[in-house]
Structure 1
């Protein structure tokens, strides 16, 4: 079972660590497109810091993010699970897992990245600022740029492996699930049960629930191969889980996860 995760806007910059080595990351076939995006981002932030703020959607109070991007090649790196620090990763709390549990995730998790395409859970990367909705000078739309590299990559590996897509919309666009693998893929949707009326999509609880699901996966030592296995595990977290067939051919199944929030 493979899990596709979004990154997080919030990142923790390590104080020490080796500099970035693109050839040391997972998915070596992405090395050249990674280099192109890295060059475009660092050049923009170095040559035109003011313009970089506009391109990256930053305010004048976030100029430190531009400076950080200027130094990506020499900045210290740490495992991706330590760099990403948003709500999902906070609930996952990988630092409190055992080494064996983190290794279980390392073999199952791909993290989408506007800068790197996909990175492995333990790949060493620097903290950076770049969203999937950005258009970079010399590159253009990142969703258009990455699509030709990431979608074919998703087709690789074990053809019997279930793909669980936990990515948010802008990161799905970087590498849409190909129709050829729709029958072995499931997209997820997290909703909050309201006091009255139907459940609603709420971003914070969506991210938090996905983090708790990944933590449960890491701690689960039993069989976990099918959608039904995953649904049963999620149900132990107190959620109601419904599997919805695809609306049309070439689309994945959908797992609706309804949580009650006090």
Structure 2
């Protein structure tokens, strides 16, 4: 199973690990695209601070993020699973998983990123600020920048198993499973059962709990239909819509009564 996650806007403080070693990151087929984004982002943030804030969509209160980006090459690193914080990652609770579940997380979780394309939770990266919605002056829109390299790398990473896509729309724009891979992909919405509306906070929290539940249970699922049964066995209320045409993903709605 490959689980596709969004990153968090906020990041943990810089780590104490060695500076970034781009060649050590997973998915080496993304190396050239990563280098292009890193080079422009560092140059942008080392120059006109106000321009950098405008390009990155940062408020005055986040001015310090510009300096952080300028120092990415020498900043300390930590595993990506520690860098990403926020509601989804709090609910996922990687640090508190048992050893077997942590091994499953290392194999199956892939976090999408405007800067790195996608990384595994064990990849050592510095703290940064660069969302997929950014349009860099030289490279242009990052989602478009990543489409070609992702299309060549991600199908192999997906292998022949289930793809559980929990990304937000901005990150989903960087890679859309196609063909045979799409047929074994499941996307998930979390709905407030009484209103059938998506509410951002508990949408993220529930997605984090779903991933934690699957990792902890060691659920052996290789197809969307098996995922639906596994989630129901774990106590989730799931409505599933199988694709009506080839090359489309399954759509799962997880219904939650309480907003928390």
Asked whether the two chains share a fold, i.e. TM above 0.5, the reply is yes
Mean Cα deviation higher: 135-144 or 170-179 = 170-179
Q: Which of 209, 233, 239 is 1:242 aligned to?
A: 239
Counterpart position of 2:109: 109
Q: Contact 2:3/2:166 (CA < 8 Å) preserved in 1? A: yes
Counterpart position of 2:147: 147
Deviation at 1:7, TM superposition (A): 0.6
SS of equivalent residue, structure 2 residue 63: helix
Is 2:27 aligned against 1:30? no
Q: Contact 2:109/2:121 (CA < 8 Å) preserved in 1? A: yes
Counterpart position of 1:253: 250
SS of equivalent residue, structure 1 residue 7: coil
Is 2:197 aligned against 1:200? yes
Distance 1:11 1:232 in 2: 34
Q: Contact 1:20/1:125 (CA < 8 Å) preserved in 2? A: yes
Distance 1:218 1:190 in 2: 19
Distance 1:226 1:181 in 2: 11
Structure 2 portions without partners, runs of 5+: none
SS of equivalent residue, structure 1 residue 4: strand
Mean Cα deviation higher: 94-103 or 139-148 = 94-103
Cα distance per residue 1:94-121 (max 9 Å; x no partner): 1111232111111111111100001011
SS of equivalent residue, structure 1 residue 88: helix
Distance 2:244 2:201 in 1: 27
How many residues are paired up? 259
Distance 1:212 1:233 in 2: 14
Mean Cα deviation higher: 214-223 or 45-54 = 214-223
Mean Cα deviation higher: 33-42 or 221-230 = 221-230
Is 2:48 aligned against 1:51? no
SS of equivalent residue, structure 2 residue 187: strand
Q: Contact 1:26/1:123 (CA < 8 Å) preserved in 2? A: yes
Structure 1 portions without partners, runs of 5+: none
Distance 1:175 1:13 in 2: 29
Is 2:5 aligned against 1:5? yes
CA root-mean-square deviation = 1.6
